[in-house]
């Protein structure tokens, strides 16, 4: 919904989501907003919670927002998804605390017999998701975790994570769906090829140089020297599943 007014955006998003759901009663809300709402995230979440009847809710402020067949960048946008028939829903928050021996994750415990799926959205500045997933691989191999990193903030404490009626600036938020059947889809899930390069010149999100040379030149060189490995998409093809999380194998997604 293209408006930066939190109340108007919430009203339009909730109305559209409820219309799409029809007569079904929602059991979970997932909310995404553009970075235009960094300063009004609390008002947006409060308005959505008021209009949805305080449903379990997770979400975040992101760099771009997609809803239906449309993706919006550089303009105010809010997308709300309402899910019905999911069974019980448990929302939670997690944090990472650094210690003399490394760090510890707290706030939520993954059960050994964790059924269903866990949806998680993490702050990239304060929550090392790779360590959390590696721990689950070792200790709770049956846990299924899907989600991603919030992209709306550019520095520490600028991230906005949504949890029910609250807005958090660090850690992670999630929802456990023990009885829901989830089919994950991943966009642009391809394994990198070639050599890594530092971006040496860019204009906002447009890259002009990689390691001092035009990106097209680097791409042509990489295609000529790199060989696709298992799970890698060749030229002209795309392959999903690069970040798909399956039982016993946790990967960021």
Gap between the Cα atoms of 253 and 241, Å rounded:
9
23, 50, 180, 181 from 84: Cα distances, Å: 10, 18, 10, 12
DSSP-derived letter for residue 2 is: -
pLDDT of residue 228: 45
pLDDT of residue 103: 87
pLDDT of residue 196: 85
pLDDT of residue 245: 34
Gap between the Cα atoms of 12 and 43, Å rounded:
15
pLDDT of residue 222: 67
pLDDT of residue 80: 95
pLDDT of residue 54: 81
Q: In 112-149, which positions are buried (b, 16+ CB within 10 angstroms) versus exposed (e)?
A: eebebbbbbbbbebbbbbeebbeebeeebeebbbbbbb
pLDDT of residue 236: 32
Contact yes or no for 200/151 (Cβ under 8 A): no
pLDDT of residue 218: 87
pTM: 0.74
Contact yes or no for 244/253 (Cβ under 8 A): yes
Residues (pLDDT < 50) of the chain are 224-253
pLDDT of residue 111: 85
């Amino acid at each position: 919904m293209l408006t930066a007014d939190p109340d108007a955006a919430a009203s339009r998003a909730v109305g559209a989501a409820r219309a799409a759901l029809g007569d079904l009663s929602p059991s979970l809300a997932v909310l995404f907003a553009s970075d235009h709402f960094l300063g009004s995230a609390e008002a947006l979440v409060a308005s959505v919670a008021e209009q949805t009847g305080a449903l379990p809710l997770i979400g975040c402020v992101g760099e771009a927002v997609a809803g239906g067949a449309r993706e919006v960048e550089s303009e105010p946008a809010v997308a709300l998804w309402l899910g019905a028939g999911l069974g019980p829903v448990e929302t939670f928050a997690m944090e990472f605390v650094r210690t003399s021996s490394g760090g510890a994750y707290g706030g939520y415990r993954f059960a050994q017999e964790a059924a269903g799926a866990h949806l998680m959205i993490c702050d990239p500045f304060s929550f090392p998701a790779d360590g959390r997933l590696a721990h689950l691989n070792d200790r709770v191999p049956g846990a299924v975790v899907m989600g991603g990193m919030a992209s709306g903030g550019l520095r520490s404490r600028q991230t906005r994570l949504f949890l029910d009626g609250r807005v958090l600036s660090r850690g992670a938020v999630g929802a456990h769906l023990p009885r829901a059947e989830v089919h994950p889809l991943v966009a642009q899930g391809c394994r990198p090829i070639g050599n890594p390069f530092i971006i040496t010149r860019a204009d906002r999100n447009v890259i002009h140089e990689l390691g001092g040379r035009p990106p097209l030149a680097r791409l042509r060189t990489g295609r000529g020297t790199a060989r696709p490995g298992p799970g890698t998409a060749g030229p002209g093809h795309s392959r999903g599943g690069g970040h798909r999380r399956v039982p016993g194998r946790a990967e960021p997604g």
